[in-house]
Copies of this chain bind each other. A is one copy, B any other.
Amino acid sequence: LRQGYPEVIYCAGKTPNQVAEIVKAMCARGSNVIGTRANNEMYAHVKNICKEAVYHEDCKMITVKNQPIDMTQSYIVIATGGTSDIPVAEEAAITAEMLGNKVERVYDVGVAGIHRLFHKLEIITGAKVVVAVAGMEGALASILGGLVSKPVLAVPTSVGYGASFGGLAALLSMLNSCASGTAVLNIDNGFGAGYMASMINKL
């Protein structure tokens, strides 16, 4: 394990006590910690045994920095189609930052407000890897894939209703993207996108 490299807990389905015990053990080892899918009650238990723990309410993550983190110079762009996709994007962003990556957030630039995307073109094309987070029809991934020549990691979200079928519409849309250079993560899997973007950004 490299210095400062965090250990990860998937908190969903664990009891608050179990989460706190795992954090405790990791802190005892001096590790940095990432906890995903954590609720307020889990955080309360963690906070009791570790004062430095931070809770990111929007993306339901707990992080602990027990060691300094070296940051990359190259950066990852994390973009969203709408504001409702931000929690998933933040899961990706916090994960990538805890793994030592510089992150640029470019939020709410989907087809409903596509002019905002064009204002951000410079920062987007300067990235080493792009994460596109979008629900409903998920067109953002295709649009970004068509505009940039860097790898695009597409994250469908469960945002939407009716025939979005819990993210299935965005998922299929992204898998069928006509723009080359795109690969797809599971629905709402911001963590996985941040993790893989970090792998690529550090090559």
Contacts and interface: CB of A to CB of B under 8 A. Distances in A.
A195 B178 contact: no
Contacts of A171: 162-163, 175
A81 B172 contact: no
Q: How large is the interface on A (under 10, 10 to 19, 20 to 34, 35 or more residues)?
A: 35 or more
Contacts of A191: 180
A199 B143 contact: no
A120 B36 CA distance: 29
Contact of A110 (B178, B193, B200): B178
Nearest to A74: B203
A159 interface: yes
A169 B170 contact: no
Most B-side CB within 10 Å, residue of A113, A174, A188? A174
A186 interface: yes
Contacts of A189: 161-162
Interface stretch (A25-33, A48-56, A61-69, A131-139): A131-139
A161 B181 CA distance: 17
Contacts of A178: 81-82, 110-112, 136-137, 139
Given A162-B186, A181-B196, A186-B163, A176 B114 contact: no
Contacts of A176: 136-137, 160, 162-164, 169-170, 186
B14 A174 contact: no
A115 to B, nearest CB: 9
Of all A-B residue pairs in the complex, the 9 with the closest CB atoms, nearest first, are: A162-B187, A183-B183, A169-B172, A139-B139, A111-B146, A13-B84, A173-B173, A136-B176, A137-B176
Interface of A: 8, 12-14, 81-84, 110-114, 128, 136-139, 142-143, 145-147, 149-151, 153, 156, 158-189, 191-193, 195-196, 199-200, 203
